[in-house]
Amino acid sequence: MSLSIRHLLGLEGVSADDISMILDTAVSFKEVLSRKIPKVPTLRGITIVNLFYEPSTRTRISFELAEKRLSADTVNFSASGSSVSKGESLKDTVWNIEAMKIDMIVIRHGASGAPHYLTTCCQSTVINAGDGAHEHPTQGLLDMYTIREKYGRLEGLKVVIVGDIKHSRVARSNIWGLLTMGAQVSVCGPPTLLPVEMEKFGVRVFDDLDEALAGADVVNILRVQKERQKAGLLPSMREYSRYYGITKNKLKLLNDNFTIMHPGPMNRGVEISSEVAEGPYSVILPQVTNGVAVRMAVLYLLSGGKGKVYEE
């Protein structure tokens, strides 16, 4: 059992077979996580460095937990407090860390393409934990896992992604992954936050929220980044909330058995009301729970499938 990719840099171009293998393997790891002792020796002897050049709560803790549940040795690196503040380059930083004998690097970086760059100059397996506005593949995978867990499939489901599509790595990974798996994907946001020629991705594009939501199964709501307002891309957060905020009265436009998702962190009262975020149809916390199992699956499969999923 192995993937056809050596690194996980994004979901663009990743095959349906590889995505299915990751999601299926994550089902087994979710079972491991429900055990009294939620730990297996699968990655014993493997050393993983979590290299975070940007802030993170969910992704960082989720990767660290996934690594510990698999019995890997883990080291956490933050750019702040490291020699990056003395001007050390990404390449020199990674070469020095690799000199201490590591196997895998999980990297979050503000620059799109930083994980890909590492694959050209280092030996380790690289996993993208979010790079600039490019991709956040494990978020896309855990979102797909969560949808599939509820509906038993991805094919044919209508998924709407609402918010700042232009600057969202979560949107890109969801779009590539969901389209590969046969879902129908729409995006919706203010015209200033929609990339030009977005239709070429193979998605439907809306700037009217009601039209986008009509008949949808899943709504994935993105965080509105306040710096977009400073950059003149949004008139005000209040106006954004009025036209694109998901409140309870919008939910009647959706299909029966609809699902509300958000990758976090949320701006309650801006892109999503508290009532919606905490409603019975919300899977926002199950997304976080599933993230650990999905990341365990990614780490296990990219490690070359050493060890056994079920080993007790």
Per CB under 6 A, residues contacting ligand CP are 56-60, 130, 136, 139, 263-265
SS3 string of the chain?
A: CCCCCCCECCCCCCCHHHHHHHHHHHHHHHHHHCCCCCCCCCCCCCEEEEEECCCCCHHHHHHHHHHHHCCCEEEEEECCCCHHHHCCCHHHHHHHHHCCCCCEEEEEECCCCHHHHHHHHCCCEEEEEEECCCECHHHHHHHHHHHHHHHCCCCCCEEEEECCCCCCHHHHHHHHHHHHCCCEEEEECCHHHCCCCHHHHCCEEECCHHHHHCCCCEEEECCCCCHHHHCCCCCCHHHHHHHHCECHHHHHHCCCCCEEECCCCCCECCCECHHHHCCCCECHHHHHHHHHHHHHHHHHHHCCCCCCCCCC
Our CB check for ligand CP shows the closer of 110 and 182 to be: 110
Our CB check for ligand CP shows the closer of 67 and 307 to be: 67
Give the C-alpha separation, 224 to 163, whole Å. 7
Our CB check for ligand CP shows the closer of 54 and 207 to be: 54
> Structure tokens of 265?
């962190």
The least distance separating ligand CP from the CB of residue 284, rounded to whole angstroms, comes to 10
Q: How many residues does the chain have?
A: 312
The least distance separating ligand CP from the CB of residue 255, rounded to whole angstroms, comes to 25
CB 270 within 8 A of CB 219: no
The least distance separating ligand CP from the CB of residue 15, rounded to whole angstroms, comes to 24
* Nearest Cα to Cα of residue 202 among 219, 224, 221, 187: 187
* Nearest Cα to Cα of residue 171 among 185, 158, 184: 185
Our CB check for ligand CP shows the closer of 130 and 189 to be: 130
Our CB check for ligand CP shows the closer of 144 and 309 to be: 144
The least distance separating ligand CP from the CB of residue 143, rounded to whole angstroms, comes to 10
First-last CA distance in the chain: 19
Our CB check for ligand CP shows the closer of 189 and 291 to be: 291
The least distance separating ligand CP from the CB of residue 37, rounded to whole angstroms, comes to 27
The least distance separating ligand CP from the CB of residue 150, rounded to whole angstroms, comes to 19
Our CB check for ligand CP shows the closer of 7 and 136 to be: 136
The least distance separating ligand CP from the CB of residue 170, rounded to whole angstroms, comes to 7
Our CB check for ligand CP shows the closer of 29 and 63 to be: 63
The least distance separating ligand CP from the CB of residue 302, rounded to whole angstroms, comes to 19
